[in-house]
Amino acid sequence: LWKFKSTIKKRSRVPGVMITQYVKELPRGKTTPDFTRKPIALTVQEGRVAIFKAVVNGDPAPTVTWARNKGDTSDPEKYKPRYDERTREHVLEIVNVQVDQADTYKCFATNLFGKAMCTAALSVFAVGFKKKSKDTSKKGGYKRKEKPKKEGEIDPKFWEVMLSAKKSDYERICHEFGVTDYRWMLKQLNLKKKEKEDEQAKVVENVGNMNQIEVKTSGRAEFEFDMKLKDANSQINLYKNGEMLDYGDGTDDSSKHNMKKTGDKYMFSINNLGLNDGGLYQVDVEDVNIISTTLAIPDVEFDGMLKDAKVVEGQDAMFEGIFSGPVPQITWCANDISVEHGDKYNITVSEDKLTHRLVVKNCKKEDKGVYTAIAGIKSSRATLAVDEKKTKQPGEARVQMGEVMELMAMVVQRMVVVMERMAIEDLAEMEEKDVEEMQQGSMDKVALEQVIIIHSHVSVPDDKVHFASGLTDKNALRGKPAELVCKLNTDKMDGVWYKDGNKMTSKDGVVISKDGCTHKLIIQNCKDSDGGLYHFEVNGCKTEAMVRVGDLPEFDPDGLQKFSNPVIVKAGQSASFKMSFPPQASLEIKWFKNGLELLDGGSVKVVKESNHSRLQIKDCLRSDTGQIKIQLKNPFGSIEALSSLIVLDKPGPPQGPLEVNESTSSVLELKWNPPKDDGEIKLSSNIFTDFEQSFSVKPHFKDPEDFMVVRSGNSIRIKINYEASPPPDITWLKNGEPVSPWNKIIHADGTCTLVIPSSKYSDSGVYTIVAKNSSGQASFDIEVRVTDEPKPPGPVVLEQVVYGKVIITWSPSPDHNKDDRLHYVVEEYNSNTRIWRRIADHLLCTTYTTNIQPGQEYHFRVYAKNDMGLSDPSESPTWGINNNKVPMPSTVSAVVTLERPPSILVPLKRHTPPKGYQCYMTCAVRGCPSPYIAWYHNGICINSDNNYYITNTSGVCSMYILRVRPEDSGEYKVVAVNQFGKAECSSILKVKGMTAAVFISMLEKCLPQSPDLHDGLSFVNSHVANNFQHGYVMQMGNSYARACQKVTCRANMDRQSFLCGHRLI
C-alpha cells in the first residue's frame, strides 16, 4: 500500500493524458508511464471492426490495459487486446461493433512507479433496418424504410443528415462519416437537394426554418421546423436510429417523446434524457424524409466547471469548461438561449477536445446573466456581471487633471532629491529613511502612494552594466546535472535567478554561485519538473534560456544483441543490417562504414522507419569489409552501435617455395606458405594430404531479397539460398514469433523455402530466417506484403474554370485509405492524335489539371495503382467542342488572373551515380507567367554547356548527363525567375569511383581469350580487388603487366594497351 500514500498528479506533454506518480522521487533512470501516441476517437458503422492503437513508454516497461465507461471489455469474443511487436503498438480490436458498444474507452499504462491514462470515444452508426410495416395505426416498434447501401458507396444516412444540416456543421459531419473530398461532396449535395425537394413536393407544400436538435438548459432536447402538408391526414412518423417512436397526441408534456404543432410549426422534444437517447432522429411524412438530425450524448463529466466572470463594459469575458473525456461539440447558452460562433461570440475547442471556451466580445450591460455549457446530460452554469464604465464630469476632470499635474511635479522633484542621496544606482533599493522624509514633507498620502508605485515599477537600467555572454538553451539529461552560465562585464553586481517568472534561491534544489563576473545556476539532478524558462536579471538587464529535460536515444536490447553479430557474405552478394528501437521523437538516424557516412543511393539502400532502420549494401566487394556503425541522435545526445561486415572471396595465390614433405606410393604430402590474401576464409591447414582441404564456414545468405509482394489467395514462397559448413539448423520466425506449424518448410542442398499455401492479409509481416551451426549464427529479415489488385477510382468529373485548362476530379478508390502505396495514373485521348497517352503518374491526390486545345474532343481515364499493378480504369465523359464554359472573346485581350511568383513543387534529389554512368536530375516548378529556368553547377551557370542536356517542359525541369565524370560532382541548383519573384532548390551529385568488379569486367572484354590467359587473370582479379579501393591504379597496372607477361596473347598486350583500357575509367 506504500505507493498510494504519496501519489502525485501531473500532466503529460501529450494533450489529454493524465499521469499519476506513486512515489515522491523517482529512482535514477526510472520513469513513470506515458503515451508517445494515444488512441484517437473513432466513428464506425455497425458490424465493422474498430481498432484503437496506442504507443507507450516508461522504465520499467508499462503494462497496458483497456476499459470502458459503461460495461467491461473482458469478453474475448468482442474485445481482442494485443501487442504488435513490429510497430510497438498496443491494440484493442473490437470485432463486429454493435450500437451498444458506443462508449468512451480508456487506455491505462501502469508500472511500479505510476500510471498514465487517456480516453478515446467510439461512435457507432446503425445500418440495415427492416422495412416498415404498412400498419402504422400503432406507433412504436416499427422500422423505418431505409435506402439500401451499395458496396463502395457512402452511407445514405450521410446524405440525409447533410441535407438537413447547417453549413457550419458540414465539416464535422464529413469527419464523422469519413468523407474527405469536400468539393465532390458539395456537388453531390446540390444534386441531392434538388432530388429531395422534388420528393418532398409530393406530400408537402413547403418546408423551412429547420433547427437541428439540441439540449436545452431545462435538460430537454428539442428540434423544430415549419411545414405545410398537402394532405392534413398524412401520417407523420418519428424515428430514432430507424426505430419508430410513439410521440403521443401532444397533450402529455411528461411523456418521453412529444410533438407540438402551432400553426405550421412542428416541435419535437425528448424528455428525461439519458445516455441511451443519443442517435439519429428522423421525421418522415408517409415515406418521405423531411428532416434528419443527430443527438450526441457523450459519457463525460466536468473536470473543470464554469466560473463566474465580472468585467467592465467594452471588455471581453471568457468561460471555460474542461471535460473528463473528448467531446467534439457542446452547446453554449446565454440566458437559456443557445449561441453560435460569430461576431459576438467566439467558441473554440482544444485539439484534444477536452477544453471548450466561450468568449463574449465587447461586453455590454445587456450581456449580463447566466451562461451555460451543455454536453449531453451534463451542464455547468456561471454568471456574467458587467459594470458600467465610469465617466467624469468636465469640471471634475479639469480639477483632477490639475491635481495630477501638480502631484507629478512634486513626485519628480522629490525623486531628484532621493536619487542624489542614494549611494547606489539601483532605484529599487531605496532606504526607509527616504520614505520617512517624504512622509514629513508636504506630500499627502496619495502622493506618497503614487511615489511608491512609480518607485516600485520604474526600472532604470545602468548603461555601464551589460552581459558579456548570455544564457543559452539547455537540453539536460534526466538524472544528470545541468548548468546555466552567464557573464557580466563587471564583478560588482549581484543578480536574481527566476524560473517561469518565480524567484529562485539555493533552497529550491539548485546551487546558485558567483565567481567574479560569472554567475551560475546548477541543477544537480534534473527531473521533468526542472524544465522551463529560466532568466537572470540584474539592474534592468535580463538574459533567458529554455531548459528541456529528456533522455538519450535507446536501442532495443534484443535488436542490439543481433546487430553486434558480424555479417558474412561472399563477394558480389548483398549484406543487410537491421537495428530496432522504440519510437522516439526528433530522432536522427545515420549509418557509417569505416567512419564514412552511408547515404541512400546506388548500391546502398537505407530504410528509416519509426521503430527500426535497415542498411543494405549490394554487390559487396572485398574492400567493403570493415566496421558498420549506426548512430541515433536526438536533442539530448547520441548513441552508437557497432557491427562488422566480412566479405569472402577467392584467396590469392599461395606463396612459395613448394616443398615435398613426404612421398610414398599412395601419398604425396606438399607444403607451402599461405597466400597474402586468404579471402577472409581461414584455412585449417597449409598441408594437403591426398590432395584434399577441410575448412568450416559460418552461415551466410546469398543475394536474399528483403521485400516481396504477394496477391491475396496466392501462395507465399520465400526461398533463401545459403552457404555454411557444417549444414546449419534453420528456424523461421514471423514478427519475432515462431511461424505457424501449418506452414511448410522445404529443405534442399543450400536452400530453404518457407511456403504458405493460401495467403491472407493477416500473413503480412516481417519473416526472419535464422541459420546456426558450430561456426556461428546468421539471420535475415524479409518483409512480406499481402495485398490485392486495387479497386478502380470512383466517377470522373471534368470542369473548366480557366480557358484552355480542364480540371479532372475523381472519387478515391475504396482501397485509398488502407493501402499506403496506392496512387493514381491519368491517361488522355484526343481527337487529333487518336492514341491514349499517360499525362500523370504517382498522384496521391484525387484531382489533376491539364491543358486542352479548342476544337478537339478529349477523353480521360484514371487508374488506381499499387504494388500489384493497375486497376480497371474509370472513364470521364467526353469533353467536346461545346464544353468550353469559359470562352475568351477574340476582341478582348486575355486577362491574367492567376499571376503568381515561382514556387518549387518537387525539389531536386540527391544522386550518387558511379563514374561513367548516366545521370538524370529533375524538379517541378510553377509560376505565372512561366518562369525563366537557370541551372547552376557549383555556382556557375551551365545552360549553355554542351556537356549537359537541359529541358523545361510544362514546368518539369530536367538535366541529363550522358556519362558522369569526377568533375561533375558538386552542388546543382535550379533558379526560377519571373517578374513576381524567384524560387530555387538545390541538391548534391556525388560521383563514385568505378568498382573493382566493373573494372575487371572491362579488362576481360579487352583481353584475348586463351586457357593460359585465364590463369593470369585469376591473379590480376585478386590483386585488383585488393588494391582498387586504396587507389593504387599504377600498381594495378604493374600487376596487370606482370600477369600479361606470363600468358600467351593473340594480340600485343603490352603496358600501353593496359593503360589504354585504364583511360576508359
- Between 44 and 416, the higher pLDDT residue: 44
712 and 761 Cβ atoms separated by less than 8 Å: yes
| The three cell numbers locating residue 354 | 477536452
pLDDT band at 847 (very low <50, low <70, confident <90, very high): confident
Give yes or no: residues 577 and 642 share one domain: yes
Q: Are residues 731 and 605 in the same domain?
A: no
Q: In this structure, are 685 and 735 located in the same domain?
A: no
Kindly tell me if the per-residue pLDDT of 740 is higher than 60. yes
Residue of higher predicted confidence among 858 and 177: 858
Q: Does residue 408 fall inside a structural domain? A: yes
Residues 203 and 291 in one domain: yes
pLDDT confidence of residue 169: 75
Tens digit of each residue's pLDDT (9 = 90 or more) over 1033-1055? 333 344 344 444 433 333 333 33
Q: pLDDT at position 407, please?
A: 54
Q: Domain check: are 511 and 605 in the same one?
A: no
Q: Is the pLDDT of residue 624 over 70?
A: yes
Q: Is residue 135 part of a domain?
A: no
| Domain shared by 288 and 167, yes or no | yes
Q: Is residue 141 part of a domain?
A: no
**Burial of 782 (C-beta count, 10 Å sphere; 0-12/13-18/19+):** buried
Question: Between 1022 and 510, where is the model more confident?
Answer: 510
Q: What pLDDT score was predicted for residue 432?
A: 41
My answer on whether 905 and 966 are in the same domain is yes
Asked if residue 791 lies in contact with residue 810, where contact means CB atoms within 8 angstroms, the answer is no
Is residue 132 situated within a structural domain? no
Same domain, 782 and 824: no
* 955 backbone dihedrals φ, ψ, rounded to 5°: 85, -5
Q: What is the pLDDT of residues 190-243, one digit of tens each?
A: 887 888 888 888 888 888 888 888 888 777 888 888 888 888 778 888 888 878
Domain's final residue, options 582, 617, 648? 648
Q: What is the pLDDT of residue 976?
A: 93
Per cent of the chain over pLDDT 90 is 15
SS3 category, 611: coil
pLDDT at 614 over 50: yes
**pLDDT tens for each residue of 937-972:** 998 999 888 788 888 877 888 888 877 888 888 999
Residue 409 domain-assigned?
yes
Contacts of 1017 (CB under 8 A, 6+ apart): 1000, 1003, 1004, 1007, 1043
CA distance 441 to 413: 12
Domain containing residue 318: 302-387
Distance CA 778, CA 645 (A): 12
Q: Which amino acid is at 304?
A: G
Percent of the chain with pLDDT over 70: 78
Find cell 436538435 and name the residue.
213
The reported pLDDT for the residue numbered 391 is 59
pLDDT digits (tens, 9 = 90+) for 515-536: 889 999 999 888 888 888 898 9
What are 744-792's pLDDT values in tens digits?
899 888 899 999 988 888 888 889 999 999 888 888 888 888 888 899 9
pLDDT at 1057: 37
Query: Which residue from 35, 42, 31 is spatially nearest to 12, judged by alpha carbons?
Result: 35
Whether the per-residue pLDDT at 1003 is higher than 70: the answer is no
Crossing angle of helices 996-1006 and 1055-1062, in 10° steps, is 130
Whether the ω angle into residue 929 lies within 30 degrees of 0, i.e. cis, is: yes
354 domain-assigned: yes
SS3 state at 87: coil
- What CATH number does residue 279 fall under? 2.60.40.10
pLDDT at residue 825, rounded to an integer: 92
Provide the grid cell at 735.
514478427
- How sure is the predictor about 6, in pLDDT bands with cuts at 50, 70 and 90? low
Same domain, 288 and 173: yes
- What are the residue ranges of helices labelled H in 1007-1054? 1011-1027, 1033-1045
Contact 119, 44 (CB under 8 A): no
Residue 894 included in any domain: no
Give the C-alpha separation, 158 to 163, whole Å: 9
Closest CA to 114 of 51, 164, 198, 58: 58
In a domain? residue 502: yes
| Whether this model's pTM surpasses 0.75 | no
Beta-bridge partners for 298: none
pLDDT over 80 at 394, yes or no? no
Q: What is the pLDDT of residue 795?
A: 93
Per the prediction, the chain carries an average pLDDT of 77
Query: What pLDDT does residue 135 have?
Result: 42
User: With bands split at pLDDT 50, 70 and 90, how would you rate the model's confidence at 455?
Assistant: very low
Question: Are 71 and 85 contained in the same domain?
Answer: yes
- Is the per-residue pLDDT at 715 higher than 50? yes
**Cα–Cα nearest to 837, from 859, 808, 855:** 859
Out of 295, 315, 338, pick the residue that ends a domain: 295
| Average pLDDT score over residue span 608-614 | 84
Please report the pLDDT score of residue 661 as a whole number: 75
C-beta of residue 286 within 8 angstroms of C-beta of residue 353: no
Q: With bands split at pLDDT 50, 70 and 90, how would you rate the model's confidence at 651?
A: confident
DSSP string, 262-280: ETTEEEEEE-S--GGG-EE
Provide the number of structural domains found in the chain: 11
User: Given the C-alpha cell 456561471, which residue does it identify?
Assistant: 382
- 251 and 164 within one domain: yes
**pLDDT tens for each residue of 301-317:** 887 788 888 888 888 89
| Same structural domain, 23 and 95 | yes
Nearest CA-CA partner of 690 in 667, 708, 711: 667
Decide which of 545 and 954 is more confident. 545
Give the domain-ending residue among 252, 279, 295. Answer: 295
